Amino acid sequence: MKRPELLAPAGNLEKLKVACIYGADAVFLGGQSYGLRSNSDNFTIEEIVEGVEFAKEYNVDVYVTTNIYAHSENLVGFKDYVIALEKAGVRGIIVSDPAYIEIAKEFAPKLEIHISTQQSITNKYAVNYYEKQGVDRVVLARELTFEEIKDVTDNCNTEVEVFIHGAVCSSYSGRCTLSNHMTLRDSNRGGCCQSCRWDYELSTKKDGELQKLELNNDYNFTMSAKDMSMLHFIPEMCSLGVDSFKIEGRMKSFHYLATVVNVYRTAIDSYLENPEAYVVKPEWTEELKKAESRETYEGALVGDLSSKGQIFDDQYKPKKVEYAGYVLDYNPETGYALFEERNHFNVGDELEFFGPHSQVFRQVITEIIDEEGNSIQRANKPLMKVSVKVDQPVAKHWLVRKG
């Protein structure tokens, strides 16, 4: 069985490192221009160079999103940009616009070309069409069922990538300009303001006058979609013959990234190692819940486009878990972990430590020692370095959370 790449979002250099450490096979990131998340931190070329170097140590590939639909002003500088990306050792770019494909092919021919999901490619012939253009990979639309994806992989030679987890557009990607019309922010150039998640009224017109449709409850109409989560369908996903599973979320938190990559890495490896004995462990589901910010659903992949995939009553209460720290060092002789505080905690609090390969344990904090060696009751200064005694070994890059 083909081992699909686990492709994780890298919103910034710190997140890139976490994705590598927690088990991603590849990461995708955005530079300062040409990508679809203009509000994300995004990388400078220097950071991309550093990121690629770091990723190499973990045998992780780096792809760069250049998936806006370019207006003529967005073509300026692209040639120099792709030359710099190629030189940095980036493996490929994720593209929607033929202008960028032409430029990359001419000036940075070693870069792979991946067609973005913004192209909303929904069938095997459209994939075949891009094969002829010499692209290396097609990212399929998020509207496809398992059967439709399998029909693509059975009939195409190019690499195929699908989403496995994260937020989804409720429209066909690239075919939504709600944001343009409502706020003048260009959704196809990284300005999407998520108008689909706003509340609206549904109305009809009678004698030229708008009439609001009567509702049975207090919830207004919205197009907001639940997030995709395919953890419970790893065997089905692996049987599709695709080359890459993508986790969405360049703008999501550090904690989200580590948790989600960790769970999918563990689940996919567990399945591929022994498909017959594979079961979804309850603790994986619990872990994902700690990172979720909205309800999740399997959605289009299982062929269900009903109201179950939409959020009409925003009653969801995410599990209250806070990111509390990042482990910098561990002394096996003393059993003390040094970590950088990211959220306050007290002596007596129970914290959860977790690391790569889904290692998790809870620990009641009996003592907090600050940088000067003083015993303190409360760690409450952001980024302060503190040592705590832990009953189980940890390592650099483990994360700490509370709740």
Partner 1 sequence: MNSKLSLHAFSPIHAKSIIANHSQMMDKIIVGSNQFGLRQVTDFSIDDIEVVAAFAHKFEIKCYVAVNKIMHNRDLEPLTEYLKALKAVNVDGVIFSDLAVPQILEIESIALESIYSTETTITNSSFTHFANVNDITGVETAKEITLEEVNELAAEKSSQVMVQIHGHLYMYQSIRNMVDNFSQFQDKNMNSDDAMYLYDSERKRAYPLIQNEQGTHMLSSNNLAMIHKLNELDLENIDSLRIDPLLYTPTEYNQIVELYIKALTDLDANKEEYIAKARSYLKELKIIKPEQKYGTGFFYKKTMF
CA dist., res. 247 & res. 27, Å (int) = 9
Task: Name the residue among 293, 311, 300 with its Cα closest to residue 257.
Answer: 293
Looking at the Cβ atoms of 217 and 374, the one nearer to partner 1 is 217
Looking at the Cβ atoms of 38 and 359, the one nearer to partner 1 is 38
Looking at the Cβ atoms of 176 and 400, the one nearer to partner 1 is 176
Q: 90 near 81, Cβ under 8 Å? A: no
Tally Cβ neighbours within 10 Å of residue 369. 17
DSSP string computed for 230-274: -GGGHHHHHTT--SEEEEP-TTS-HHHHHHHHHHHHHHHHHHHH-
In angstroms, give the least distance from the CB of 244 to partner 1: 20
CA dist., res. 402 & res. 362, Å (int) = 9
> What DSSP designation does 251 have?
T
All residues at 6 or more sequence positions from 166 whose CB lies less than 8 Å from its CB, including other chains: 9, 227, 228, 246, 247, 248, 249, 252, 260
The span from the first CA to the last CA of the chain, in angstroms, equals 39
In angstroms, give the least distance from the CB of 253 to partner 1: 23
In angstroms, give the least distance from the CB of 29 to partner 1: 18
In angstroms, give the least distance from the CB of 319 to partner 1: 24
In angstroms, give the least distance from the CB of 121 to partner 1: 8
10 Rama sector, left if φ>0, alpha if ψ -120 to 50, beta otherwise? beta
Looking at the Cβ atoms of 5 and 143, the one nearer to partner 1 is 143
In angstroms, give the least distance from the CB of 210 to partner 1: 6
Looking at the Cβ atoms of 66 and 259, the one nearer to partner 1 is 66
In angstroms, give the least distance from the CB of 296 to partner 1: 16
Strand pairing of 322-331 and 399-402? antiparallel
In angstroms, give the least distance from the CB of 320 to partner 1: 27
Q: Cα angle at 18 between 17 and 22, to 5 degrees?
A: 120
Looking at the Cβ atoms of 44 and 203, the one nearer to partner 1 is 203
Give the Å distances, CA to CA, from 310 to 219, 221, 296, 302.
13, 10, 9, 15
Looking at the Cβ atoms of 213 and 277, the one nearer to partner 1 is 213
Q: 160 near 171, Cβ under 8 Å? A: no
Q: Which tokens is 234 given? A: 């790893």
Torsion (CA) 343, 345, 350, 353 in degrees, nearest 10: 40
Q: 62 near 94, Cβ under 8 Å? A: no
In angstroms, give the least distance from the CB of 395 to partner 1: 41
Looking at the Cβ atoms of 229 and 262, the one nearer to partner 1 is 229
Looking at the Cβ atoms of 135 and 400, the one nearer to partner 1 is 135
